[in-house]
Chains A and B, each alone.
Chain A
Amino acid sequence: MTAMPMDAPALPAPAHGHRGIWAWITTTDHKKIGILYGVSAMAFFIVGGVEALLIRTQLAVPNGEVLSADAYNQMFTMHATTMVFLVVMPAAAAFTNYFLPILIGARDVAFPRLNALSYWIFFFGGLFLTLSFFLGGGADGGWFGYAPLSTEVPEIVRMDYWALGIQVLGVASIASSVNFITTVFTMRAPGMTLMRMPVFAWMATVVSFLLLFSLPIVAIGLFQVYFDRNLGTLFFDAASGGDPVLWQHLFWLFGHPEVYVLILPAMGIVSEVLPTFSRKPLFGRSFVIFSGIAIGFMGFGVWAHHMFTSGLGPVAEATFALTTMFIAVPTGVKIFNWLGTVWGGSLRLNTAMLFSLGFIAMFTIGGLSGVTHSIVPADSQQHDTYYVVAHFHYVLFGGAIFGLMSGIYYWFPKVTGKLLSESLGKVHFWLTFIGFNLTFAPMHFLGLNGMPRRTYRYPPGLGFEFWNLLATVGSFVIALSVMVLLWNWIRSARHGKEAGPDPWDARTLEWSITSPPPEHNFDEIPVVQAEDDWWHRKYSTDEAGRPVPIVAGASGEDDDHDAGDGEGHEGIHLPSPSYYPALAALGMFVAVMGLVYVPWGLLAVAAGAVITLWGFFGWSLEPLTRESH
C-alpha cells in the first residue's frame, strides 16, 4: 500500500495535452465526469435554493406581496423540478460516477464515452429547463404536471419546456443506468463477489434498475402530454374521452420509484460512513443490501398512495394502503441496522458522522409521517396540505440531502486530497440541522391545521402566521449553512490539511489508493478477499474480536504484487478523450429547443438531428483507447 504513491507524480498529465476547459468537455474519465456532476448539482442547488427562499419570503406573513400568483406557481414547480432532477439525482450520480468503479476495483465504467454523453445530456437538459425562465417563464403546472394543468394553454410554452426537459434528463439517466448496471456486472475486481460489493455500490445498482424500469413509463406520459399540447391528441382531454387519471398513474408509477432513486444513494453513503466512524463493520450487512433490493421491488407497488383522493375505489385503496405499510418494513430494518452499527462502536463524531446520524434521526421522522399517509382516511385529510410538504422534506432533505452532505465530508479528501475544515463543517452541520427543523417541523402543524399547499397567499387570523414566520426564518438559516459549506469548499481546497490516502482509517478500496486517485485508479487491480477488504488488509482481530493492526508489509500478498509488476502499467488502457459525446448532446439540445416551437422549430429539430448523428458516427468510428503514460 505504501508503495503505490510512487507512481503518482507522473500521472496528472492531461490526456493528449489538452488543458483547461477543453479537457473537461472531452473527458471520458469517470472521476472527472463525477466532479462535473457534483459541481453542476451544487450550482442547481443554489438555483433551487433561491426559488425556495422566494417561496418562503412570500409566505412569511399573511397576504404576501413578494410574488404574484403566476410567479409563485413557477417557483414551486421549478423548485421541485430543480431539486429532484437537477440536484439530488446528479449529486447521487456524482458519487456513483466517481466511486462506483473504484469501490468495485475497476479502472472506469463499462462505457466511458456513454458516460460522458449522459453527463452532457443532463447538462443541456438542466440548461434547457432553466432557460425557460428567460423565454416566457418557468414551468407552472407543478413538478407532477397533472393534466389539465400541463396540457391546457398550448400557446404558452412553459409546460413544453417542462415535458421536454424531464424527457431529456430521463434519457441521460437511462443511459447512465445501462452503463452502471453493465459496470457492476462485468467489471468487478477478482474476488469482488456481488455480496462483497460495498453497500453504496449496491444501492447505486438498485437505483439504476429503478430508473431503468420507471423512466420509460413517464417517458410515454411526457410524450402524451407533449402530443396533447402540440398535435392535438386527446390522451388527457376529459371532455373528449381522454383520462387525466391515466397521467397520474403513469407519473406516479415513475414518481414513486423515483422517491427511492433519491433516497437509496443517501442510504448507501450512510452505510459507508457509519461503519468507518464507529470502527465496526456494518451490522447485518446482507440485511441492509437485501432491504435495499426489497425496497427496489416494492417501490413499484405503492404508487397509487399518491392518488388516494382520485377516487380509485376501496379495493385499490386498501391494496395500496397495505403495500405502503409493508414498504416501511425494509426501511425500518435498515434503520435498526444502522443503530446496531453505531451501538457499542468507538465513535468519532466528525462532520461526516454527524450528518449520517442526523440522517437517521430526520429520516425516521419523515418515514413515520410517511406511514401515516398509508391510512387512507387520514391521508384524504392530509392530502394537499403542508403536512405532506413537511413529510417529504423530512425524507428528501433530512434524508437525501443529509446523506449526500455526509458523503461530501467523507469523500471530499479522496477527491481533492485535502480535508474539509472540521470546525466550519460542524458550524455547517448545526446550522443545517437547526435551520432544517425550524423550516419543516412547523409545516406538520400548518398542514394538520388545514393550510393547503401551492397557494400563494393565506389570510390572517387562521393561526398560520407564527408557524409560517418560523419556517421562513429557518429557510434563511439553511441558506446561511449552504454559504458556510461553499466557503469550506473554497477554503479547504486551497488551504486544507493534506488528507493522505486514508485519513479516516476506512474500510473500502477507494482508501487504498492516493488522494486524489491516479487517472487509472489502480496500478494493480486489487484481488479482493473479504467484505471491507481494505480494512482486513490493515487489521486482523484478536480473540476478543478487537481489531489489531497488521504491521505494514507483513502480510506480503499485495506488496509483492506491486513490486513484481514492473511493465504492467504500459498496458493500462484508458478511454481517449472525445468531444463527440458533448457534440451529440448539443445536437439533442438544439433539436429539443426546436420541438418547443413547432412548426418552425422543426428546422432546428432537423439541424439538431444532423449534429447528433454526426456525433454518433464520429463516435463509432474513432478509436476507443489509448495507453496510459
Chain B
Amino acid sequence: MADGATTTLEHAEHGGHHDVTRTRKIAMWVFLGSECLFFGTLISTFLLYRNRTLGGPTAHEIFDIPFTSVSSFILLMSSLTMVLAHHASDRRDWRQARIWLVATALLGMAFLSGQVFEFTEFVHEGLTVTTSPFGSSFYVLTSFHGAHVAVGVMLLLATAFMSFSGKLRTDTANEGMNVELVALYWHFVDIVWIVIFTVVYLLQV
C-alpha cells in the first residue's frame, strides 16, 4: 500500500504519468458509453421486428417467463457477489476476493447455461434465426449479450488467477487487470440484461 502511494506520487511529480487506476476507470466508462449504443441498436432492431413472425412462433407463444425470471435472478445475484469481490479486494483480502470472483463467474456460467437451454427449447418449438425477422433479431440480440457475459466470465477467472501471482496485490495498478474494472463491466452487462428482460421478454407476452 505504502509502496503504491509513493509510486503514484513519483508519477505525479514527473507529470508524464498519472494515477493509472483513474485513467483506466475513465477508459472503461468511455468504452461502456460506446456499448450503450451497441445494445441500443440491437434492442431497436428487435423492437422493429418483434411482431414480424411470418407465421412462426410468436413471443407470446414461446417465452417461458418463470424460467427466464430465475436465470435473470441468478445474473442479478452475480452483481451482488461482484460487489463482495470488489469490497474484499479493497480490504486487500485476496482469499475472500478470489472466492467471490469465482462465485460471480459461476453464476455467470449458470446464466449462460440457462440461455443455452432456452435456445435449445426455442429451436425445438420451431424458432430459429432463419424463421422470421423476429427470430433473427431475438437470437442476435440475446447472443450478443451472452457473448458479453462470456467475456465477463473470462475476465473474472483471469482476475482470480492473477491474484495468485500477486499481480493485483502491489496496487501499482500498472499490472494486470483490476477488480474494479471487471466489476464495472460486469454490472454494465447485468444492467443491459435488466433492460433486455423487461423490453424483450416481459413487455412482449
The answer to whether B60 has its CB under 8 Å from any CB of chain A is no
**Contact of B37 (CB < 8 Å), options: A108, A216, A232:** A216
- Interface locus among A219-227, A288-296, A307-315: A219-227
Task: Check A573/B16 contact, CB under 8 A, given A178-B34, A179-B27, A232-B129.
Answer: yes
Query: Smallest CB-CB separation from A240: which chain B residue?
Result: B54
Whether A234 lies near B27 (C-beta < 8 A) is: no
Assess A212 versus B34: contact at CB under 8 Å? Given A186-B23, A186-B26, A234-B132.
yes
Complexed CA–CA distance, A215 and B36 (Å): 12
* Assembly CA distance A224 to B144 (angstroms): 12
- Asked if B33 is at the interface (CB within 8 A of a chain A CB), the reply is yes
Q: Which of B15, B48, B49, B140 contacts A223 (CB 8 A)?
A: B140
Docked complex Cα distance between A110 and B177 (Å)? 16
Q: A571: which B residues are within 8 A, CB to CB?
A: 10, 13-14
Q: Give CA–CA (A525, B27) in the complex, Å.
A: 23
Which of B38-46, B83-91, B105-113, B194-202 contacts the other chain?
A: B38-46
B175 adjacent to chain A (CB < 8 Å) = yes
* Distance of B189 from chain A, by nearest CB (Å): 15
Interface string of A237-263 (1 = CB under 8 A from B): 100111100100010000000000000
Q: How far is the CA of A234 from the CA of B133 in the complex (A)?
A: 5
| A185 beta carbon closer than 8 Å to chain B | yes
8 nearest A-B pairs in the assembled complex, by CB-CB distance: A525-B15, A107-B16, A233-B136, A216-B38, A241-B52, A220-B41, A216-B37, A232-B130
Q: Are B30 and A241 in contact, CB atoms less than 8 angstroms apart?
A: no
Chain B contact residue count (CB 8 A cutoff): 43
Q: Looking at the complex, which of A348-356, A368-376, A541-549, A618-626 is the stretch in contact with chain B?
A: A618-626
9 contacts between A and B (CB under 8 A): A216-B35, A217-B37, A221-B41, A224-B45, A234-B135, A246-B45, A572-B14, A573-B17, A623-B174
Residue of A nearest to B17 (CB): A573
Question: Measured between alpha carbons, how far is A202 from B27 in the docked complex, in Å?
Answer: 18
A235 and B136 within 8 A (CB): yes
Min CB distance A165 to B, Å, is: 19
**Residue contact A241 to B27, C-beta cutoff 8 Å:** no
Q: Taking CB as reference atom, which chain A residue is nearest B52?
A: A241
In the assembled complex, the CB of B128 is this many whole angstroms from the nearest CB of chain A, namely 9
Interface residues on A, range: 35 or more
A106 at interface by CB-CB < 8 Å? yes
* B176 within 8 Å of A (CB atoms): yes
Nearest CB on A from B177, distance (A): 6
CA distance A233 to B140 in the complex (A): 9
- Chain B nearest CB from A380 CB (Å) reads 25
In the complex with contacts A235-B133, A241-B133, A246-B45, A110-B16 CB distance below 8 A: no
Q: A241-B133, A520-B16, A525-B16 are in contact. Are A220 and B45 (CB under 8 A)?
A: yes
Residues of chain A within 8 A (CB-CB) of B140 are 223-224, 227, 233
Residues 121 to 139 of chain B near chain A (Cβ within 8 Å): 129-130, 132-133, 135-137
- Residue B148 is within 8 A (CB to CB) of chain A in the complex: no
B95 close to chain A: CB less than 8 A: no
- With an 8 A cutoff between CB atoms, is A21 at the interface? no
Tell me the A601-628 residues at the B interface (CB within 8 Å).
617, 620-621, 623-625
Least CB separation from A181: chain B residue: B30
**Contact among A110, A178, A242 with B31 in the assembled complex (CB-CB below 8 Å):** A178
CB distance from B54 to the nearest CB of A (A): 6
Q: Is the CB of B42 within 8 A of A220?
A: yes
A120 at the interface (CB under 8 A from B): no
Set B23, B133, B167: member contacting A110, Cβ < 8 A: B23
A178 touches B27 (CB 8 A): yes
Indicate if A597 sits at the interface (CB-CB under 8 A): no
Asked whether A234 lies within 8 Å of B130 as measured between CB atoms, the reply is yes
- Contact: A182 with B16, CB < 8 Å? no
A624 to B175, Cβ gap below 8 A?
A: yes
Question: Within the complex, what minimum Cβ distance (angstroms) separates A112 from chain B?
Answer: 11
Query: Known interface pairs A189-B15, A213-B37, A246-B45. Does A241 touch B23 (Cβ–Cβ under 8 Å)?
Result: no
Q: Is B129 touching A572 in the complex (CB atoms < 8 A)?
A: no
The answer to whether A625 touches B174 (Cβ under 8 A) is: yes
Which of A106, A108, A189, A234 is B136 in contact with, Cβ under 8 Å? A234
A175: nearest chain-B partner, CB-CB:
B31
